[in-house]
Amino acid sequence: MVNSPVFGQLESALAGYLADVTRRAHSYDDRTAAAVARNELPRIVETLKAVLDEHEPDENGRCATCRTKRFGRAVAPCRAYLTAHLCLVVTEDGDPADQADPAATTLVMPSARRYREVPG
């Protein structure tokens, strides 16, 4: 983990925001939860798209952002794309029934377990 006060503040603020959105989506009545989703979901989607845009592969299929060596670049799909795919497209056990109920699956980013979604 990075030992930087600025990073720690950013990390804490983002973790708090994500926890707050998750709590409001799970704890409030359906009407309020829908309003939270309507307001926050587009912001979260745009944020994820912006992060993934930074990791778009170049003409050689390599991520221009992720570096595995000093002068090398990671092969695409890089870790950012793989993590997004695992968290958003693949459920933990692959059971299609879980996809019908978003609360049935807890999504955990492998490299960012602190953002774990906990219902209630």
Q: Give the 3-state secondary structure of residue 76.
A: coil
pTM (2 d.p.): 0.65
Give kind and range of the element (H or E) at residue 10.
helix 5-27
- CA distance linking residue 47 with residue 41, whole number of Å: 10
Q: Does 13 fall in a domain?
A: yes
pLDDT in tens, 2-20: 578 888 999 999 999 999 9
The whole domain housing 26 covers 1-54
Q: Does any domain span residue 25?
A: yes
pLDDT tens by residue, 52-107: 999 888 887 788 788 666 666 666 788 888 899 898 888 655 554 445 554 444 44
Residue 32 lies in a domain: yes
Q: 9 in a domain, yes or no?
A: yes
Contact residues for 65 (Cβ-Cβ < 8 A; gap 6+): 54, 55, 78, 80
The model's pLDDT over 15-44, given as tens digits with 9 standing for 90+, comes to 999 999 999 999 999 999 999 999 999 999
The yes-or-no verdict on residue 120 having pLDDT over 70 is no
Q: Are 117 and 105 in contact (CB under 8 A)?
A: no
Domain count, the chain: 1
What are the φ and ψ backbone dihedral angles of 63, each rounded to 5 degrees?
Answer: -70, 125
Is residue 66 domain-resident? no
Residue 73 lies in a domain: no
